[in-house]
Amino acid sequence: MKKMTYAEAIRDGIRVEMKRDPAVYLCGEDVGKFGGCFGVTAGLIDEFPGRIVDTPISETAIIGSSVGAAAAGLRPIAEIMFVDFMGVCMDELFNQAVKMRYMFGGKAKVPLVVKTIAGAGVAAAAQHSQSMEAWFTHIPGLKTVMPSTPADAKGLMASAIRDNNPVLFIEHKQLLGISGDVPEDEYLVPLGKASIMRQGTDVTIVAWSWMAQKALAAAEILAKEGISAEVLDPRTLVPLDKASILHSLGKTNKLVIVHEAVKTGGYAGEIAAIVADEGFDLLDSPIKRVTAPDTPVPFSPTLEAAYVPSVDSIVQTVKSLF
């Protein structure tokens, strides 16, 4: 094990896979000499000359070229600087990349990783701070990954690169600097397998990305008040580990789902629907959601702090069930 930040762990996951497989390359705006907008890819251009490609400012070109390269046998990691910019290249993603394997009867593979970053908390305003993961979970054929720890970030990145289907890998700005023990060398975390971050018996809190860390903090507070919260991080929203969620709910009989995205159309609603359909008899209270309000992300730090779900809002929502 080695202590790494979340950003370093992602970089290490990319590095290990690029050493292992010469078909892997990275492209995007400022990913090379500049090392990425947040420094995540710093130094890779020196280690892998010719395989770290600084592109023009064209999300359409980044994804379009990567779809073609993947279909032709390479394994591109295409970085879109902010998830907020994905609207520019959606046709290439949801009408081309994810449909090729299906439309060609399984004869085509598109092993493409779209690497991007989401989330608020840094006063980057409404066009650079959104959590848009629910958009992408609605696209059949696209896998959606949102790690919350350094170790998961490395292992999920490696698994995403090795997958033969398009994978959206969403980092979070607030997690880049957190540290943790990370396995060295090759390390894989399977897509579609949740992580029980904290065992509990009274309530299940399902949360991902930055909100998983907030859920852990809330669980600490709740424990002091006699409430044992189990914190479950799905790690991948598609494929979703339904079995682990239902198993946890079978112990606790209460469910709170936390995400930073806005409430309406958020992925918490999908999880709630699955539980209502497949685990209704496990519930002894209503399912609760803790989310951002249905507004753009404010620029003002004070308003932004009120916008993002807080540890206290998770605590109070859990306590409302008792």
Q: Is 259 a catalytic residue?
A: no
For 207, the enclosing helix (H) or strand (E) is: strand 203-207
Domain 195-319, CATH: 3.40.50.920
Q: What is the pLDDT of residues 265-278, one digit of tens each?
A: 999 999 999 999 99
pLDDT of residue 235: 98
pLDDT of residue 141: 97
The model's pTM is: 0.97
Whole-number Å distance between alpha carbons of 236 and 257: 15
Q: Which residue in 128, 138, 247, 259 is the catalytic one? A: 128
Secondary structure (H, E, C), 240-293: CCHHHHHHHHHHHCCEEEEEEEECCCCHHHHHHHHHHHHCHHHCCCCCEEEEEC
3 state DSSP class of 7: helix
CA distances from 77 to 86, 113, 127, 134, 321 (A): 15, 5, 23, 21, 43
CATH fold label, 2-182: Rossmann fold (3.40.50)
What residue spans in the chain does CATH classification 3.40.50.920 cover?
195-319
Instruction: State the number of CA atoms in the 13 A half-sphere of 57 facing the CB.
Output: 3
Per-position pLDDT tens, the chain of length 322: 999 999 999 999 999 999 999 999 999 999 999 999 999 999 999 999 999 999 999 999 999 999 999 999 999 999 999 999 999 999 999 999 999 999 999 999 999 999 999 999 999 999 999 999 999 999 999 999 999 999 999 999 999 999 999 999 999 999 999 999 999 999 999 999 999 999 999 999 999 999 999 999 999 999 999 999 999 999 999 999 999 999 999 999 999 999 999 999 999 999 999 999 999 999 999 999 999 999 999 999 999 999 999 999 999 999 999 9
> Which tokens in the block code for residue 171?
């980092």
> Which tokens in the block code for residue 190?
């399977």
> Which tokens in the block code for residue 294?
């249905």
What residue spans in the chain does CATH classification 3.40.50.970 cover?
2-182
pLDDT of residue 169: 98
CA nearest to 182, candidates 153, 206, 217, 159: 153
Q: What is the pLDDT of residues 131-146, one digit of tens each?
A: 999 999 999 999 999 9
| Number of neighbouring beta carbons within 10 Å of residue 185 | 9
Instruction: State the number of CA atoms in the 13 A half-sphere of 196 facing the CB.
Output: 17
CA nearest to 85, candidates 153, 170, 146: 170
Are the C-beta atoms of 214 and 311 separated by less than 8 Å? yes
